Structure formats: structure tokens, C-alpha cells
Amino acid sequence: MSDPEVSDALLPPVRRRAPRVGLVAGGLGTYWPQFPDLLPQLQESARYVSTRLQEFDAEVVDVGFVSDAREGAAAAERLRRADCDLIVLFLTTYLTSSMVLPIAQRSGSPVLVIDLQPSERMDHATFDTGAWLAYCGQCPVPEVGNVFRRAGIPFRSVSGWLRQESAWERIGRWVTAAGVRAALRHARHGLMGHVYPGMLDVSTDLTLLPSTFGSHVEVLEFDDLRQRVEAITEDETQARVDLARQVFSVDASVEDADFRWGATVSVALDRLVDDFALDTLAYYHRGLDGEQHERLGAGMILGASLLTARGVPTTGEYELRTTVAQLVTQVSGAGGSFTEIQALDFVDGVVEMGHDGPAHLQVSSARPLLRGLGVFHGKRGWGVSVEFDVRPGPVTLLGLGQDADGTLALTASEGTVVPGPLLAIGNTTSRVDFERDPGEWVDAWSGTGVGHHWSLSVGHRAADYRATADLLGLPFRQV
């Protein structure tokens, strides 16, 4: 699974709508007759910006170049109709704030102001006024920031020069965040079964996601899955067993009947996700004495892990908010496995974390293992479970907490997965070094209100997740 081409061939990733990025460039039209060479130079810079934005796999809605307040108002109307996930406002030289305020006010989309001068610095010995004005995009940034604040509009900006890669890295962070915003605005979250008894932190008001993001929550029954399981053929089950053997190492503890049951449920899960057009799925059913719904719940792990690896986070314990956090990390390109604290190692100074049940296979350090379990701790049922360690290196945790007033908040913490002894109990387990006393880290992390579970994603991504929280209008907390 460490080879992206191999993993994509076996588990084709789900394709979602690209972020729609509006682009408008502008400068003060008074300059054009005074300095005839200025506007063509600035328009060429604007074309370069449009091309670079498209390289982030964004759908760019370029409404052109504005030179006065009337043109700014017309651009605002075109961008309003475009329903963008982010608007990039390119200040090519000085312009008045009256030219751009309507764009931020009327579009209903978050705005990123960028000012990228043509090169690293001016050639002072040869420049005249017209040449200097091409380097004056920074001049209106404080003015625009002031007016946005007075108008109650969040202000965010990237200043730099046109081909400065570090500036484009910062711009790309906002485009990535726009992709997350797009995914959440259009997401359909499945919720199947009932809450794990007693886990008060897991309970989520089903109106909260639509009102916060615009997402839809589809309430499902386990019978929706049962009906589809009953329709699966032996050939479909065998094909899924064959796929699983390509993806996983299969431990000798796996019983053939349990393996085939998990494969059957996996095919039915794919059908359920397709039929309801789901972007995530959270589930739990307690069950009793091996009855049918208990067996369905116990047979979910294989199929849920395959779906998660393809970009449809599917998690147990009815953890709706954590599937949202996993969707954020997945759309950001960082994977994201369902995770909780398992133990602390005070000798090595690490926090051991992971979970039983579904996992994001593509963040595994090696080929993931299917292990047979006669019991799922804290749950009823038996069957196959997934075991692996997240690949060594930088990781970022991301959780979606909820405050007393109902506000959702994104919480992150960066650490490093390090080698060391791991449990072999059919769980994902990783040893994460946060470069501090493990107990102190747990206290700080728990004090944020993050909740029982979170997404463990690869790479140091806190800056990306901070930008995402900004575009979503959520508080961001980092430990």
C-alpha cells in the first residue's frame, strides 16, 4: 500500500468536486493613460496567477481585470453567481478599497488577498514611476485590511513576489482549505445504528453539520445494509476476498467463514455508499447473542477500511464528528485513521495511540494485516480486524470538538511516529513523540475539549488545518 500507483489501482480514490476559486485582478485605472506600458505588464502577471491556481487542481473562475469601482461591482456580481469556495483578489498595484469591498460583501465566499510584485526587488537605477507602480501591490493591503475589518469581513493575505515558491506554498494552503470547504459544503454523512451507550461526547446534534457547513446527514438503518448483504452473490464475495488478499497480509488466525462474511459485507457497504451517495459513514450496533445485526456490525471492519482508504471515512462507535475530521484530513491529502489514546510509555516518552476497527490503509508503514479476533473489546461480535502502524515520520492529529454553546472547533497537534514495541491485538497502533512528557501532553490535549477520537494524518499539517478552520469560521486550537 506504500506505492500510490498500486494502491490507487486496487482501491480507486473517490473523486470529489474540485474547489472553485474565483480570481479577480485589479489596479487603479487612473494610471493607464499616464503609463501606457503598465496595464499590459499587470495583465500578464494576472494570467500567470490564473495558470498557477489551476495547477492546484482548482476550477478557476477568472472574471478579469478591474480598474474602477463600477468594474469591481460588476465582478462581484459575476463571482456571486459562480458560488466560489474561495475568491483570490490579486492587487497588482495600488487600487482603492471601494473597488474591492463589494467583491467581499456580495459574493458570500471567503476572500484571500494576494499582492505579488514582478520580481524580488526593483532595479532602482533604471526604474521610473510607471515601472515602480508595478511593484506597488503591497501599498493598498493595509487599506483593504482596515476596510474589511470595519465591514466585519475576515481578512487574510499573502504578500510576496510573482514566482516566489514560498508565497505560492502559502497560497496553495488556502486553495487546499477551499477544497475542504467545498467537500464539507456538499458532503453527505451517513449515520447508521445508534450511539455507543454512555459515550456522551460522541452524541451530535444532527442539525449542527447542516447549519455549520451545509452538509447533509442521512440517517440509515442497519436493515439498509442487511437488505444489500442478502443480494450479494458468491462470485461478488469471492472477488472481494481476492482483492483483500492483494491489499492485506492475512494472518493464520483469520477464519475462512469470517473472512468471507467480511468480504460480503464489504461489497454491500460499497453498494450502500453508492446508493445514498455518501461521503462518510459512522455506525454502531450493540447486538445480542450473535443475532443478524450484531453480525453485520462485527463484519464491517474489512469493508469500512477499504472505503476509508478510497476516501470515504467509515468509522465505528457512531463517531459522526470524527468522520468529518477524517474527511478534512483526507481531502487535504494527508490520509487520516480513526484514533484514540491507548497507553503512555514514560520510558521512551511517547503516546501510544490507534484504534480497533476500520483504518486508513494508505497511511500504513507496511502491508496492513488482517487478524482474526474471537472478541472485539468493549463490543459484541467477532471476526476479522485490521492491524498496522502508521508510517514513521511527522504526523498531525485533527479532532472536531464541540463547545458549550454548540460551536464546533478544530483541534490539532503535531508529532512524530517513532519505532518501538507494538501490541499485536488486531488494532492500529502508533508510538507518537510530541517532544514533551506524555502525561503533560494528554492533559493539554484533553483540556481542549477535543473528544474521545480524532483523525491521525501524515505530515505536519497544522498550518493547513488552521487555514481550513479560518475558511470555515471555526475556532482552531493547537497543542
Three-state secondary structure call for residue 148: helix
The span from the CA of 435 to the CA of 416, in Å, is: 9
The span from the CA of 416 to the CA of 395, in Å, is: 6
Can you give the pLDDT at residue 330? Answer: 93
The span from the CA of 381 to the CA of 298, in Å, is: 5
Structural fold of domain 186-478: L-fucose Isomerase; Chain A, domain 3 (3.20.14)
Tally DSSP H helices, then E strands, for the chain: 17, 19
The span from the CA of 265 to the CA of 260, in Å, is: 9
Position 376, amino acid: F
Give 10-residue mean pLDDT values along the chain (479 residues). 60 87 96 96 97 94 96 95 96 95 92 96 93 94 96 96 96 96 95 82 85 94 94 95 90 88 95 97 83 84 91 90 94 90 94 80 80 59 74 94 91 95 77 96 94 92 97 96
In the numeric block, the cell 497502533 is attached to 429
| Domain locations in the chain as residue ranges | 20-184, 186-478
The span from the CA of 211 to the CA of 214, in Å, is: 6
421 - beta bridge partners? Answer: none
Can you give the pLDDT at residue 357? Answer: 63
In CATH, what class is 20-184? alpha beta
Can you give the pLDDT at residue 426? Answer: 63
Can you give the pLDDT at residue 293? Answer: 83
Can you give the pLDDT at residue 196? Answer: 79
Can you give the pLDDT at residue 255? Answer: 87
476 - beta bridge partners? Answer: 410
The span from the CA of 170 to the CA of 159, in Å, is: 10
Do 184 and 140 meet the contact criterion of CB atoms below 8 Å apart?
Answer: no
Long-range Cβ contact pairs of 144-153 (< 8 A, separation 24 or more): 144/89, 144/91, 144/97, 144/100, 144/113, 145/113, 146/97, 147/97, 147/101, 148/101, 148/104, 148/111, 151/101, 151/104, 151/105, 153/104, 153/105, 153/111
